[in-house]
Amino acid sequence: MKLGMIGLGKMGGNMVLRLTQGGIEVTGYDRSEESVAQIERQGARGARSMDDLIAALGEPGSRAVWVMVPAGKITQSVIDDLAQRLAPGDIVIDGGNSNYKDSIRRAEDLAKAGIHFVDVGTSGGVWGLKEGYAMMIGGAEEAVERLRPAFEALAPAADRGWGRMGPAGSGHYVKMVHNGIEYGMMQAYAEGFELMKAHQDFNLDMAQIAELWRHGSVVRSWLLDLTAEALQNKAEFEKLSDYVADSGEGRWTIIDSIELGVPTPVITLATQMRFRSQQEVSYAGQMLSAMRRAFGGHAVKTIETPRQEGLVPEVAPGDHPKVAAPENIGHTASAGEGSAAEQLGETGQQRVKGDA
């Protein structure tokens, strides 16, 4: 089958390469000439314009375009553009981290022109090229079945790691909850290791504990595997800021839990901890400090040097996943594409309403 891919960052670029390796005739397009040249150097086909991309996809009514750009207004603008170029029977796939309510609306809007919309919650990160991607898919059965060869090529195996969740919006909904669970798991690991590191009487070896837990323990997981490897390689976390980005799914999971009356305290607190990490200084903390001094005359600390942070660019398509390992931070050759918010995955935190 033929497939177009718009957005050739660390996810889209690697997906093009895996699709090509799987025998799919895929053409990639990106606003960055270097990103297009990168996939061409690795054997994939590139397009220099949207017109070139659409022309490479075959007859109207049989075409499929996968959108893999930052969520939010950028995704909306690309889909609006495609709506003017495609014909009844064509398929638009959104594989980014869009809000599921936006996906429902986009499906309804495209359906008026006879264009199918398929939302694909995609997980796998920089390891997806090597290990395959997990894909949670929403959309009409007919459209999903037409895309089966692409899903089978991208997944860890043809019969594993992908499936249709339900109608349009359901793929992104399941991925939203998936990421909320991810937030909770990551927070629990981080808190546990920080607690053990603070208990200095035992002089605990974090690398030894992480490696031990990988075998037979009920808390073993892929996240723990990556953490253990980083600790074994003596990753220097002190070089990292404690700023932790959030792409929006944790927020939306909490909102959905409130609307449905389903308690999600772990996911909620894990997301709130990310918010706290994103503050240079907490206004609430400053107020607490002021109140404590006002009623008790206690000593307080003042800010003498504002926090300064840098940005290590995202991993480039085709790079080995180990480039992303903590011990290699600061040694990346990539300059990164797009703004800091795009590279941190923060562009989709708010829903896109209408065509704005």
- Which residues neighbour 49 within 8 Å (Cβ) at sequence distance 6 or greater? 29
The contacts of residue 57 (CB under 8 Å, 6+ apart) are 2, 3, 4, 27, 63, 64, 65
Task: List, in order, residues 6 or more apart from 193 with CB less than 8 Å away.
Answer: 206, 209, 210, 227
How much is the CA Rg of the chain, to the nearest whole Å? Answer: 22
Catalytic positions are 175, 182
Cα torsion for 10, 108, 100, 13, to the nearest 10°? -10
Which are the contacts of 59, defined by CB distance < 8 A and separation ≥ 6? none
